[in-house]
Structures are given as structure tokens and as C-alpha cells.
Chains A and B, each alone.
Chain A
């Protein structure tokens, strides 16, 4: 029995369950050269075009930017920057219709090209002399995110440290109509292989498997020619079937392995990248050419010249359609992506992003609108074609019933939303839509329940704290009461008189010895400051985890500990008492001064008084002091005004 690797080397292919054969309709575009789109009037560059977080905006409105200049930063490992696809001026930074099924507005930089196409300085890297970290940094800073559609940041995949058996390059392109990868391979196979070389240096896999469907003979031949000098690079022609290009399906086709549910391909020693991503990586590393443009298939029966175009990121869809001869009597549908998984656009100002591989403008005859949904007859044609071996009709049933337990039992979350089930459904039930809604509802429920858990934990912590404080209060009162009782029992009458005298004396000396008091106050203040700093540090330490659930609880606990720590050393209360005493003294002095000379000087006398406490407090809290000073000033003014007549 040959090992898996030997079988793979021998060219063995496997199969996945189900799949469909929709008409591919790629011939209109696949054989034409890639056309370069003229510079559009405006480029709309969404800040986030990948899975992860958006970088911070580095440019301001009105600023001139050069081609290839980063517009956002990548200060987070889940962030990749976006770049100016050409030189020009930043017009706005704000909401614009997003290239997302929801079409919700999204933060977008609008760039007005100046037509000069002036490059920033470029620093190509030498693959032989660069180390892995500089390569990865370059990949990240070049803004490369998976170009097959998911938009996963490429540096995260290329920077995986687990051992890699197989690097799979996805050139399958199983969606009907789309031939962007096909065209890219035909024209850039050599660059793609250079990109694969870079990935091999980073990941050192046992073998590279390039999967391509057998309806792209020209591209396959180009890849094979480009790989001919490489050992362990295998180009595999796969039978055309949708969705062979799905990550899990392609892994199964090429290696007969399955990614365990809820895990990632790397867990079985596999990394997969799209062929377009490999191309972009080569450009970024070897030419310092960040991801500024991509090949997009523009096709459909409403176009007189369907073809592949090289479009700058941010180009509005209308520019692509007009370039390809868009003509329609009444608007029907414009789809971003393919007919199986693409989404319809609400208008044509939506920009091309890093993950846009196709703009499909079909005629009504070509992709007719869905007829009215009929009842499910449980024919299970859907189950026969499901590449995940799910039971879509059962999932439909439980989706309609909103039964999250059963949906989980029937593995709803293993659905890859490929659309094969809805494609074959004789009752024209939009199955995928039902699953999307069900998934969203379950996610929402999970979020809600997490929130509820947190609220419960917070509530319980608060109750516990209140109870603890109550106990402490009671214990202290008891202690004091006991002490008092003891004092009363032990003390005699003569003693009491002596004590009272001593108390009065002590009070007098206390009032006289102001400097000593002042020192004490300063010491107290220093202690308080330290405490505040410690609290800040604690708070800061708990804050970065704000997203994870225990955060509020942790904060609560920090807060709880505060009074407990204060309790024994009642420095705080002493300080408060001192402050009150000071304030009273000031007030008395003020009153006296006012009575002595009521006239205009009032303001002058109050001014230094008001600023004095401010300067005192400035060390502890400048803002508070300023506010206090302002209030004091205002009061003084008011008083002066009222005393004038």
C-alpha cells in the first residue's frame, strides 16, 4: 500500500461528495487578453477589505498621495493597509456603499487621481538575502489579503509556524462565468510560480499542489511549463465540478484528507492560498508593488464586450461595466462574484475590492428570477449534491422551526453556503438564505446569552460586595461600641475631667501648630496619589481584555478591593476631614475680610485665595483644580458684583 504522499506524487485524485455541474459560460472571457481599464474619475477605497480589523487612516483630506503610498497603517497583526492605487488627492474619508451583501455604508477613502500615476519610492527585496520576518512584514505592509474571495490576511497564513506538509495553490475557479484566475495564469504563470517560491521559503512544505479544473487547458499548460524547473511542484487537473474550489473540497480532492469540524487546514498540515494571492505576493516582494489592482471578469449577456480587465482597487463597478459595453433596457441585476455565491449590488458606485473577482451583469433570460417558492417535497436532491454531506431538507425544516438544538445536531455551521442545494431544488426554495438567517439568529442568541451571563456575574459580584461591606461596617461598629463600653467601665469621674482637659489642650496645640499639620496633609496626599496610581495600573491591566467576557467582572473586582484596602488605613477620611476644616477656615477668613472692607478690593483679595487651593491641588489633579479655580473665580465675581451697589 503506497503512502499518501506516494499516491499524491503518482497523480492520484480523490473526489468529494455531491457537487453540481452548472453551465460554466467561461468561454466568452477566458480566451481574451486582460484589458487595462482607463483611470477612473474617482477611486473609492474601503479601509477594510479583508477579514480582520481596519488600519488607522494615515492621510488627511486634501493631501496629495503617491501611487503605492499606504493610506492606512497596519499596527495590528489582523490589519493590512490599503494603498493609493494611483497618485492623486484625497477627497473625502467617510461612508460609502460597501462591497458586501448588506451594502451597508463603510468607512472609505475617496481619491481623485491626478493622471500622473507617480510612484512612491520602491524597495524590491532579494529573496535569497531576505529573512522570513522581513518577507512577512513586506507581505503585510503590501496589503495582501486572500484574493479568492475570503480576504484572509496573507501574512498570517504565510507566517504559520506549524509544520506544513502540503502547500495547496487554488487555481480551481469553479464558479461559473469567472475566468479572472484563468486569464491571470495565462499571462503571469511565471510570476505566480515566483510567488509560490516565496511561500515555500516561508513555509517549507513537503510538496506544492496546484489544483486547476480541466476546463482551463491553456492555463494548466502555462502553469506546468512555469513549474517544470521546480521539484515537488505538482499541477493537478481536476474534473470540472462545482464547488471543487472550496477550501475543504479542494483539500479532499488533492489529499483525501478532511479538515476536522471547527479546525483549520494547518491542523492537518495544509496551507491553501489562491493563485492570485501568490501573484500579488511575488509582486510585493520582488517589485515592491503593493496590492493596487486585480483582474476582474466582467461578463454577462448585457455586455457587448465581456472580458477580463485589470482594475484598480476602488474603481466603481459602473466604470467596468461601461468599459465592457453595458447596455440594458431596464436594470435587472448586477452581481459581484459568480452566480452561485455572488451577491447583487444595489447600485453601481460600489467599488472593486481586493476580493472582487467578477462583475456579472446577466440578462433576464440568462439568469431568470426565481419563481415563487413551493413546498419542499423532501426529494433530497439537495442532500445528493451537498459537498459537506449535510441534510439540507432537514436543516430547512429546523430553520423554519427556529430550533437551534436540532440545527446544531444537523451541523448547520458546517454549511459552506456554496448554493448547490438551492441550485438543484425543484421547489425553488432559497435554502442558503434560510441557513444564513438561521446562522445569524443563532449567533445573535449566543451573543445575547454571553451578555446575560456577564450581567448576571456582575450583579452577583455587586451583591457580594455590598454584603461584604455591610459585614465590615457592622464589625467595625461592634468593635467601636465595645471599645467605648470598655472605656466607660474602666474610667472614673476624676479621670474623665482630666481627659476632657487634655482633649481641649490637644485641640489648642493642634490649631496652633499649622506647619506640622501641613506636613501631615502632604504625606497623606502622597499616599493617596500612590493609591490612585495603583488603581489606574490595575484598571489599565484589565482593560485590554475588554472584549473577552471576564473584563467587566474583573473591573468590578478591582473596584471592590478598593474600599476594602482603604478601610484599615483611614488616611482618606482624615484627608477629607482636613480639607473640610481648611475650607471652613478659609470661609471664615473670607467673611471677616469682606466685613472689613466691602468695597472694590474684594476681587483682588479673592483672586489669590482662589488660586491658592488650585495650585495646591494642581499636583494631584490639574483638571479638577482648574475647574475648582474657575468656580471660585466665578463666585468671587458674582459676590463682588452683588456687593457693588
Chain B
């Protein structure tokens, strides 16, 4: 008769890492649905491509590292990375773009650093930035929302567009990008930046049809959907409240100040919060546990830093949205933030209190 010898504790909470990752993916679904409805089905094609690539890449690297592939695939972290990257890139970007991006995210950003838990940078955002720098044209081909598209694309069109860059009826992506009025349209944030650079006032810029609604046609709804998913994650205690609140709070505060100071050249706080990838970043990207700060105080610092960087990059930077860069910059600062925000251990004096 032999008994099993194990180390205490002998009981555990039932939620596992793979469940946490899966819950985050599930919380993305409202946003994905809204995105597919308002910006076309391209995002679904991108998702499938990204997930397939991510799984293959993860399994391949695990094989190379002589580790069991299945248990790593089951942790769902590759799945989550793929999903986040797929929803971040333009829905009708060419197929090889997402494949290259996902491979980069999984193989280089994650596995070359030692795999899950060891990567310094958020894999999805690092891949996004890599794509943005390497393929700026393809990465800015955001189509206007469906209501503004001259041709409506069905699911088959989406597949054709992603793989051939032409819809089944033969329209090229750049043709599709051109609005009803014959003017090529970028994202709302991009439009504002271009217009302000051209000397227009914000009010003039907002006259354009793309700004139908509070934050640009369609974008408000996408952001609301991610907000809902994010709140659900907080409610389920999958993510903490500190990082999202710090990101949104700091972005709101600084854009409010700038808007009050010069409303003509600064978008309103609401537009900042509900346009671009703000909500996605605050709830789904900045909260990635691996690359975020791990102390409670540190999370606030980390979130505020991201919020401020989003504002600065949007206002002064050369790219349509600042989220990816902001997150990567904050990732770099994490070891430092963590080091200086360590909590006071029981029975020890606070740092700086002297001995």
C-alpha cells in the first residue's frame, strides 16, 4: 500500500491559466461581432488565419525546444495573441500580413524570449508595430464603416479580398476605401491628424462624413462593445481594475485639459476614449499579465503611462493610433516600475523610512 506524497497546499482554486486566457478571448467576442457588422467580415477571415498560424507556430517551436506541445497549446495564450492581433489590423489586409505578424508574435516576441511568462513585450502589439513599420501601406488600409462603403461586401467577398486584394466582383481595396464622395478615407484619428496638419480646425475636420456619430462612424460601437467585454472581465476577476482605470483616467484627464485649453486643435475627451483602439487597449492589451506591471502601485503607474503616451503619440506622432507604441514603451518600463513599487513586506519598515 503506497500513498501519494505531495507538497502542501493540497487544494487549489479551480480556475486555470487556460481558462483565464479563454475568458479573455470570449470577452472579445462582442467587439469582434460589432467590428464584423460595421466594418465587414474581413476580420473573421483574419481571425481564422491568425489562429491557425499561431497554433502551428507554437507547436513547431515546442517541437524544436523538445517540450510537450499540447499542454502549451492548451494554455490558450497563443490563441489570445492571435485574436488580439487579428482584430487590430485592417480587416482587408492581405493574408500574408497577418501570417507574418502572427509568426513574428509567437516565434520571436514570445518564444525566443523563453515562452509564456518570459516575454518582455506584448506579442500582439510588438507584431502590430513591426507590421506597421514594415508595411505601412497595407496597415493603414482601414475601410470606412459599412454605411459609408460604396459596395457592400459579403463573406465571400471578404475571403477574396483578403487573399487576392480584390473582391469577388473585382473591386480593389483602394477602390473600396474610396468613399461615396470619391475621397479616400482613412480612420477618424488619421483624418483628424492629417487635417490638423493641413491647417484645418477640428470643427472643419469633423464635418466629414466619417465623423458621423461621436467618435467616427462605427468606432463608437466597437469601443462600447470592448468596454462591455472588459467590464465583464473585471466583474469575473479575470483582470484587475487598476490598469484599465489608470489608462482611461489618464487619457481622459489629459485630453480634457488639452481640449479645454484649445478646443480647435484637440479632439474632445469622448472622441479620444471612444475612437481607435482605446477600449481594446485599456481592457485587453494593457492588462496582459505577462508584460504588465505586477504590483498594485506599479499597475497604476503603468496604466497612467500608457494613457499619456496614447495621447502624446496620437497628437504628435506619425502613426494613425498610438496604442501599440504606448503599450510597448510601457512594457519596457515594467521592470523598473516593478522594482520601485514593491509593497512593504509584513514586519518590515517602508522603504525610505530608515532602519
Residues facing A in B275-319 (CB within 8 A) are: 289-290, 292, 294-296
The smallest C-beta distance from B63 to any residue of chain A, in angstroms, reads 17
Among B11, B19, B77, the most chain A Cβ lie within 10 Å of the Cβ of: B11
The smallest C-beta distance from A370 to any residue of chain B, in angstroms, reads 7
Given known A-B contacts A378-B289, A388-B346, A426-B20, A333 and B294 have beta carbons under 8 A apart: no
A344–B5 touching, CB < 8 Å: yes
Kindly identify which residue among B10, B17, B77, B348 contacts A414, using a CB–CB cutoff of 8 Å: B348
Of B207-215, B253-261, B337-345, the stretch lying at the interface with chain A is: B337-345
Q: How far is the CA of A369 from the CA of B71 in the complex (A)?
A: 17
Q: Is the interface of B mostly helix, strand, loop or mixed?
A: loop
Q: How far is the CA of A263 from the CA of B348 in the complex (A)?
A: 11
Nearest-CB residue, chain A, relative to B3: A331
- B152 contacts the other chain (Cβ, under 8 Å)? no
Among B6, B15, B77, B290, the most chain A Cβ lie within 10 Å of the Cβ of: B6
Residues facing B in A249-263 (CB within 8 A) are: 252, 258-263
Q: How far is the CA of A390 from the CA of B344 in the complex (A)?
A: 8
A378–B117 touching, CB < 8 Å: yes
Q: How far is the CA of A393 from the CA of B15 in the complex (A)?
A: 18
B9–A422 touching, CB < 8 Å: yes
Given known A-B contacts A258-B346, A377-B77, A414-B346, A426 and B17 have beta carbons under 8 A apart: yes
A380–B2 touching, CB < 8 Å: no
Residues facing A in B104-119 (CB within 8 A) are: 115-118
A411–B348 touching, CB < 8 Å: yes
- B16 contacts the other chain (Cβ, under 8 Å)? yes
- B contact residues, total (Cβ < 8 Å): 41
Residues facing A in B1-32 (CB within 8 A) are: 1-13, 15-20
- B352 contacts the other chain (Cβ, under 8 Å)? no
On chain A, the residues within 8 Å of B347 by CB distance are 248, 258-263, 388, 414
- B75 contacts the other chain (Cβ, under 8 Å)? yes
Q: How far is the CA of A372 from the CA of B19 in the complex (A)?
A: 15
On chain B, the residues within 8 Å of A343 by CB distance are 7-8
Kindly identify which residue among B72, B289, B346 contacts A379, using a CB–CB cutoff of 8 Å: B289
- A195 contacts the other chain (Cβ, under 8 Å)? no
Given known A-B contacts A342-B8, A367-B10, A383-B295, A426 and B71 have beta carbons under 8 A apart: no
The smallest C-beta distance from A247 to any residue of chain B, in angstroms, reads 11
- A430 contacts the other chain (Cβ, under 8 Å)? yes
Nearest-CB residue, chain B, relative to A387: B346
B17–A427 touching, CB < 8 Å: yes
On chain A, the residues within 8 Å of B338 by CB distance are 394
Q: Mark A410-440, 1 if CB is under 8 A from B, else 0.
A: 1100100101101111111010110010000
On chain B, the residues within 8 Å of A372 by CB distance are 71
On chain B, the residues within 8 Å of A374 by CB distance are 16-18, 71, 75, 116
Given known A-B contacts A333-B4, A388-B346, A414-B347, A432 and B16 have beta carbons under 8 A apart: no
Kindly identify which residue among B3, B71, B344 contacts A332, using a CB–CB cutoff of 8 Å: B3
- A316 contacts the other chain (Cβ, under 8 Å)? no
B6–A344 touching, CB < 8 Å: yes
- A346 contacts the other chain (Cβ, under 8 Å)? yes
Q: How far is the CA of A426 from the CA of B19 in the complex (A)?
A: 9
Among B4, B19, B118, B345, the most chain A Cβ lie within 10 Å of the Cβ of: B345
On chain B, the residues within 8 Å of A369 by CB distance are 4, 6
- A contact residues, total (Cβ < 8 Å): 68
Nearest-CB residue, chain A, relative to B238: A379
Kindly identify which residue among B9, B10, B16 contacts A426, using a CB–CB cutoff of 8 Å: B16
Kindly identify which residue among A339, A346, A393, A424 contacts B10, using a CB–CB cutoff of 8 Å: A339
B71–A370 touching, CB < 8 Å: no
- A551 contacts the other chain (Cβ, under 8 Å)? no
On chain A, the residues within 8 Å of B296 by CB distance are 383-384
The smallest C-beta distance from B351 to any residue of chain A, in angstroms, reads 11
On chain A, the residues within 8 Å of B18 by CB distance are 374
B290–A432 touching, CB < 8 Å: no
On chain A, the residues within 8 Å of B6 by CB distance are 333, 344, 369-370
Q: How far is the CA of A376 from the CA of B119 in the complex (A)?
A: 11
On chain A, the residues within 8 Å of B20 by CB distance are 377, 379, 426
- A176 contacts the other chain (Cβ, under 8 Å)? yes
On chain A, the residues within 8 Å of B292 by CB distance are 378
Q: Mark A242-285, 1 if CB is under 8 A from B, else 0.
A: 00000010001000001111110000000000000000000000
On chain A, the residues within 8 Å of B11 by CB distance are 22-23, 176, 339-340, 367, 423
Residues facing A in B317-355 (CB within 8 A) are: 338, 342-348
Kindly identify which residue among B16, B294, B345 contacts A380, using a CB–CB cutoff of 8 Å: B294
A362–B342 touching, CB < 8 Å: no
A427–B71 touching, CB < 8 Å: no
On chain A, the residues within 8 Å of B295 by CB distance are 380, 383, 391
A423–B13 touching, CB < 8 Å: yes
Among B12, B292, B344, the most chain A Cβ lie within 10 Å of the Cβ of: B12
On chain B, the residues within 8 Å of A262 by CB distance are 347
Q: How far is the CA of A422 from the CA of B343 in the complex (A)?
A: 19
B116–A423 touching, CB < 8 Å: no
- A335 contacts the other chain (Cβ, under 8 Å)? yes
- A389 contacts the other chain (Cβ, under 8 Å)? yes
Q: Mark B170-202, 1 if CB is under 8 A from A, else 0.
A: 000000000000000000000000000000000
- A104 contacts the other chain (Cβ, under 8 Å)? no
On chain B, the residues within 8 Å of A335 by CB distance are 10
Residues facing B in A1-40 (CB within 8 A) are: 16-17, 20, 22-23
User: Which A residues contact B (CB, under 8 angstroms)?
Assistant: 16-17, 20, 22-23, 176, 248, 252, 258-263, 331-335, 337, 339-347, 362, 367, 369-372, 374-380, 383-384, 387-391, 393-394, 410-411, 414, 417, 419-420, 422-428, 430, 432-433, 436
5 tightest CB-CB pairs across the interface, nearest first?
A419-B9, A379-B289, A261-B347, A433-B7, A375-B116
User: Which B residues contact A (CB, under 8 angstroms)?
Assistant: 1-13, 15-20, 71-72, 75, 77, 115-118, 289-290, 292, 294-296, 338, 342-348
Given contacts A362-B10, A387-B346, A432-B8, 7 further A-B contacts (CB under 8 A): A333-B6, A339-B9, A340-B10, A370-B12, A391-B294, A426-B16, A427-B17
